[in-house]
Amino acid sequence: MTQASALKPSLYTVPEGADAVPALRGGRCVCGHVFFPMQTYGCEKCGRTGKALQPVLLAGTGQLVASARVLMHARKDRQAPFTVVSVRLDEGPVLRTLLAQDSAAPLPSGLRMRATLVEVGRADTGEPIIDLRFAAAA
């Protein structure tokens, strides 16, 4: 069995099983504000710091807020076209990420989305390198 390596393991968990939705490593303040990614610098809502902010796993599901298709990119290692999406997680935070598969068709805001892991390259050892993306929920 080939071991996969997560590109940004501090941001999400890599679940067992092909259909498992990755959980996102967010945080919650004692005031109730939920944010992503986890940090202890300060709550964006009330300003509390440190232990007032605790890690919480977010479900990795939400709604599409906006999308933009990139047809050309200045960096040669960024293969266009690709689609950038803003997703409001069910717990509240909005994150900007990439669509798992580029889409030429416009995406309706409000579309149900789910986190997924895609292979973005190969390590020197041959093991797949995976990273977080979002896709329309089936």
Residues that bind Zn ion (CB under 5 A): 29, 31, 33, 43, 45-46, 48
| Helix, strand or coil, per DSSP, at residue 5 | strand
Report, in Å, the least distance between residue 32 CB and Zn ion. 7
Report, in Å, the least distance between residue 38 CB and Zn ion. 14
Q: Which of 121, 129, 124, 90 is nearest to 9 (CA)?
A: 129
In terms of CB distance, is 31 or 94 closer to Zn ion? 31
In terms of CB distance, is 45 or 122 closer to Zn ion? 45
In terms of CB distance, is 34 or 129 closer to Zn ion? 34
Here the tokens at position 11 are 């941001």
* Gap between the Cα atoms of 7 and 9, Å rounded: 6
Report, in Å, the least distance between residue 23 CB and Zn ion. 22
Report, in Å, the least distance between residue 95 CB and Zn ion. 19
* Gap between the Cα atoms of 117 and 134, Å rounded: 8
Burial class (CB in 10 A: 0-12, 13-18, 19+), 33: middle
Distance of CA 99 to the CA centre of its chain: 10
In terms of CB distance, is 48 or 114 closer to Zn ion? 48
